[in-house]
Every structure is written in structure tokens, then in C-alpha cells.
Amino acid sequence: MFRYVNQLRTLGIGETPISVIPANAFVHTPNLIRLEMSEAAVDTIERGAFQQTPLIQAIVLNKNRLSV
């Protein structure tokens, strides 16, 4: 999803039509520590989506279409 932004630490992209966070979404953002995607259309997070972000501390996904 994001390419060659390896120094990115915080990403806020709320209110977007993104419905799927793919397994390789953050492969080029290894230093990401905070992701905010509030009020988006996310209904699927693929297995392993956050494995490439070992420093992640906060993932904010409130008001999305996720279910258990």
C-alpha cells in the first residue's frame, strides 16, 4: 500500500474507502509506531498485515466495518 517511506512513524488516514488491509500493506514502513484509520471502510485485515511493523505501539481502527 505504501512504498519507500521507511522513516514514516505515524500514519493517519481516516475517513477513506479502504476496505482491506492486505498482508503486505506496511512492508515499506518498518518504523511505523502509530496507525490511525478511524471512520474508514475497513472490513478485512489480512493475516500478517502488521508483521512488518515490529515497532507498532498503537493501531486505531474505531468506527470501521470490522467484526469478530
Q: DSSP assignment, residue 5? A: -
Neighbours of 64 (CB within 10 A): 19
Tens-binned pLDDT, residue by residue, of the chain (68 aa): 556 788 999 999 999 999 999 999 999 899 999 999 999 999 999 999 999 999 999 999 999 999 87
Whether the model pTM is above 0.85: yes
Q: Domain spans of the chain?
A: 1-68
Q: DSSP assignment, residue 57? A: -
- Taking the C-alpha atoms of residue 54 and residue 46, their distance in angstroms, rounded to an integer, is 17
